[in-house]
Structure 1
Amino acid sequence: MAILLTNGNVYCDRGFQRTDLLISEGRSFVFEKPGLRHADRTIDCKGKLIIPGLADVHVHFREPGFSYKETIRTGSAAAAAGGYTCVCTMPNLNPAPSTKEGLQVQLNLIRRDSLIDIVPYGAITAEQDGRSRLSDMESLAPFVCAFTDDGRGVQSGARMEEAMRLAKSLHRMIVAHCEDESLLGGRAIHDGVYAKKLGVRGISSESEWRQVERDVELAAKTGCAYHVCHISTKETVEIIRQAKKSGVDVSCETGPHYLVLCDEELQDLGRFKMNPPIRSADDRDALREGLADGTIDMIATDHAPHSAEEKSRGILDSAFGVVGLETAFPVLYSRLVRQDGLITTEKLIDLMALAPRQRFPLPGGPITDGARADVTVIDPEASFVINPADFRSKGKATPFEGWEVQGKVLMTFRAGTPVYEVEQ
């Protein structure tokens, strides 16, 4: 079916232009001047943004192994509702994708149930624990976007160097959740103001940046491409900034919650608990500066759904993780673009759609004539209140509950097929 999107502001060649976009046989066709085109369906997109489908390199869809939290079907539906056409799923699953047989279970579910493109990660270690021997990386490499033990930092420098050398030989990247377990406190919660209020020690900033410091040195030594997950500290920003200046092949991501919240806003609710934690205002401001100056390459949600019971135990005892796919664009567009003027709409699109695909081997990309039609339509003026009851994800825990935001996703196309559309 051919669908014509008329009068929209289409983001192509790294800028917006008022034009028509024809989606036909899975491809996009851009017209310089509006006019009559043959189509089975015509949609007036006046005042709307038509952008490349978003891409998220850090999500947890929980299946296989933990489908009570999320499934490939519900996770991909949430992604489509958030404007995403491609995501990369983390390996803390059962079975873990540390062998080809373990990965195949997930690949079969993706093929059967996903509404969008899902490119999985392979585990770094055999037990996906940051400590055991290396996974069967050679057999996994053709089927994964990169290798990570997300949720666990690789504790041994020697093991990380071994992984980097093997990943480099396989033309794959090492992606790291950086957390030195020897530097963690007794009860793992948010460090800083809130932890002090409760009289306990939280997750220290040093537990993150010390391992980043180690790993960028190993990346320089081995020549392996290296990417840091969900950075949250001012020290990490500076380490990566200096590593890039010295020519290390390093990139990084941060999440929406680290850019718009600080620990002074935390509440004793499970929906404010994630790892790494929301940190100080100084850390938040350093992340925002790193985003603006290009030190931070992309934004990823770390979408991490849990059951309602697992998130009902307050900030001390709830499971780590919040959902984010259905809120990321409107929260960032409202706060960073519209309210604070920190970045432009174009820069936000680059961070959420183009930069991930430039760094990772992912399908989709810029809107050009003949390109695969991975396209998202957004109403930049539509305001709404974030209500978890409306989420397609099984997970409902978000620190943005009750926020009024702008930038509503209206439609998402994956390879020309509508995979999400707001009911009129």
Structure 2
Amino acid sequence: MAHPDLAVTNLIFPETPHPVDLLCAAGRIQGVIPHDPDAAYEGARVLSGRGLTLLPGLTDAHAHLREPGQEWKEDIASGLGAAAAGGFSNVMCMANTDPVNDTASVTEHMTTRAAATWPDGPRLFPIGALTRGLLGKELAPMAELARAGCVAFSNDGRPVADAELFRHAMEYASDLGLRVIDHCEEPTMAPGAGMNEGRVSSRLGLPGQPDVAEAIQVARDILLADYLGIPIHLAHISCRRSVELIERAKAKGVPVTAETCPHYLHFTEVEVEGYNTLAKVNPPLRTRDDVLALIQALREGVIDILATDHAPHAAHEKETPFGEAPCGISGLETALSLAFVLTDKGMLDVPDIIRLFATTPAHLFNLPINTFNSGDPADFVLFDPREAWTVTPDSLFSKGKNTPCLGRTLTGRVVAHFIGATPVFTRGEFTSAATASASRSTHGRHS
């Protein structure tokens, strides 16, 4: 083995029972070997991992970075800063910008801004609009968007009601070798209500959206995927009815994949008590039964991946009456902590988290992935599963502080994040240790 140029020692690696040393050379993984406390690794930058957990860089297949046009909520620089702090090496961003990402020029603006503000990563992968202006009337120029760098297509929060148009979108995306991501919401049933229809909505006097509004659209998409033999990816699944449909479809061999988000695994409709707009999200938070169904679906592979649906909003937009507040939760920086809570409860294990937040989403959308084999990109995260931290506006790098986690203490936090063996984020005492590494990049963030 050639001399490494970076060695991170004394790490906990989920695949082995004993501490390991991670060796990198030329921005690539060189090897993961048993920890040797006497190893000098001459010529390498040596950092002590002090027993931190080693994870691959994560992939978020569903985020909103708001630029162009809504930079008061978030911009690409701040959104990728949040991704760096959250451990996400790859970020797929939705098309609901202003103007909508339905032309190559908007796609290229996004990728140019990402390269200018975070040249070492996190990497930005735009999702192109499915229809022009997200209006659901005519298809966007999908081939043009693909050539410009889009890695998937979606109408985001404005589902396409026209089944024939949606069918053609699936066909054209398939011809380009890309997937359609669908926000499943029957558009006549309380669209965007942000509140589950049930006892809590009745008690609060709020219009609610029933879970069947999601399941109806899930069923339509599954039928189309079955008929066409073309893959479809279902965004942010929130309820048991949808899980049951997906499970039956997969048993039949229908090419359907699906995601859910950490907030649907922890919070229920009860979070909206007191008209809490920080818990207003689309699809809405559901019941405890739905939460349990989603966790089981993740464990069994019925739901394929986790995504954040990072949806930042400015404080003044959420500080309004519930009916006027926009839907959305800022999630890039709390996602991994929330996922690890489930490992503490025995509901998932660390290899599940790696599969759901790293390996599978990267494979689905053909993005870079580190499996810690020799030659893989040296994209990795050092995570402290024991560190307790309180979520406050000051603790978040995103402009969006809109999360029901505010004021709560979470256990587990990203300590450092490397992309191509370059530190893009370090925290606390690890910052000084990584200074020599960070000097290679003027865009590494520290706290």
TM range (shorter): over 0.9
* Distance verdict in 2 for CA 1:401–1:39, change over 3 Å: farther
Conserved? CA contact 1:244–1:250, under 8 Å: yes
Who is 1:333 aligned against?
340
Residue 305 of structure 2, aligned match among 298, 307, 327: 298
Larger deviation, residues 353-362 vs 184-193: 184-193
Look up the equivalent residue of 2:420 and give its one-letter code.
A
Larger deviation, residues 106-115 vs 202-211: 106-115
Cα deviation for residue 41 of structure 1 reads 2.9
Q: Is 1:279 the equivalent of 2:280? A: no
Who is 1:156 aligned against?
162
Residue 322 of structure 2, aligned match among 307, 310, 315: 315
Cα deviation for residue 22 of structure 1 reads 2.0
Conserved? CA contact 1:186–1:202, under 8 Å: no
Who is 2:197 aligned against?
191
The DSSP-based 3-state class of the residue aligned with 2:316 is: coil
TM-score (norm: length of structure 1):
0.95
Who is 2:98 aligned against?
94
Cα deviation for residue 251 of structure 1 reads 0.5
Cα deviation for residue 301 of structure 1 reads 0.7
Cα deviation for residue 185 of structure 1 reads 6.6
Who is 1:218 aligned against?
224
Residue 123 of structure 2, aligned match among 117, 120, 138: 117
The DSSP-based 3-state class of the residue aligned with 2:317 is: coil
Q: Distance in 1 between matches of 2:151 and 2:16?
A: 28
Q: Is 1:369 the equivalent of 2:370? A: no
Structure 2: which 5+ residue stretches go unaligned? Answer: 430-447
Who is 1:134 aligned against?
139
Larger deviation, residues 56-65 vs 90-99: 90-99
The DSSP-based 3-state class of the residue aligned with 2:47 is: strand
Who is 1:414 aligned against?
419
Q: Is 1:32 the equivalent of 2:33? A: yes
Cα deviation for residue 199 of structure 1 reads 2.1
Who is 1:18 aligned against?
19
Look up the equivalent residue of 1:134 and give its one-letter code.
L
Q: Distance in 2 between matches of 1:248 and 1:125?
A: 25
Residue 3 of structure 1, aligned match among 6, 11, 16: 6
Who is 1:260 aligned against?
266
Conserved? CA contact 2:195–2:284, under 8 Å: yes
TM-score (norm: length of structure 2):
0.90
Who is 1:58 aligned against?
62
Q: Distance in 2 between matches of 1:200 and 1:291?
A: 31
Who is 1:103 aligned against?
107
Who is 1:353 aligned against?
358
* Distance verdict in 2 for CA 1:269–1:3, change over 3 Å: same
Who is 1:173 aligned against?
179
Conserved? CA contact 1:117–1:363, under 8 Å: no
Structure 1: which 5+ residue stretches go unaligned? Answer: none
Who is 1:380 aligned against?
385
Cα deviation for residue 390 of structure 1 reads 1.1
Identical amino acids, percent of aligned pairs: 34
Deviation digits for residues 106-148 of structure 1 (CA, Å, limit 9, x no counterpart): 222222223411111011101113x210000111123211110
Q: Distance in 2 between matches of 1:188 and 1:31?
A: 45
Who is 2:436 aligned against?
none
Conserved? CA contact 2:222–2:249, under 8 Å: yes
Q: Distance in 2 between matches of 1:413 and 1:337?
A: 24
Q: Is 1:236 the equivalent of 2:237? A: no
Who is 2:81 aligned against?
77
Who is 2:433 aligned against?
none
User: What is the number of residues matched between the two proteins?
Assistant: 419
Conserved? CA contact 1:251–1:297, under 8 Å: yes
Q: Distance in 2 between matches of 1:185 and 1:60?
A: 19
Conserved? CA contact 1:189–1:316, under 8 Å: no
Conserved? CA contact 1:172–1:225, under 8 Å: no
* Distance verdict in 2 for CA 1:229–1:16, change over 3 Å: farther
Conserved? CA contact 1:191–1:201, under 8 Å: yes
Q: Is 1:144 the equivalent of 2:150? A: yes
Conserved? CA contact 2:195–2:269, under 8 Å: no
Deviation digits for residues 284-343 of structure 1 (CA, Å, limit 9, x no counterpart): 111111112110111111000011100111433211111011111112212x110x2111
* Distance verdict in 2 for CA 1:51–1:186, change over 3 Å: closer
Q: Distance in 1 between matches of 2:386 and 2:17?
A: 16
Conserved? CA contact 2:370–2:380, under 8 Å: no
Conserved? CA contact 2:385–2:413, under 8 Å: yes
Residue 403 of structure 1, aligned match among 401, 405, 408: 408
Who is 2:437 aligned against?
none
Q: Distance in 1 between matches of 2:193 and 2:123?
A: 37
Conserved? CA contact 1:178–1:228, under 8 Å: yes
Who is 1:394 aligned against?
399
Q: Distance in 1 between matches of 2:279 and 2:194?
A: 13
Cα deviation for residue 360 of structure 1 reads 1.1
Conserved? CA contact 2:192–2:327, under 8 Å: no
Look up the equivalent residue of 1:93 and give its one-letter code.
T
Cα deviation for residue 186 of structure 1 reads 9.7
Q: Distance in 2 between matches of 1:265 and 1:118?
A: 32
* Distance verdict in 2 for CA 1:39–1:295, change over 3 Å: farther
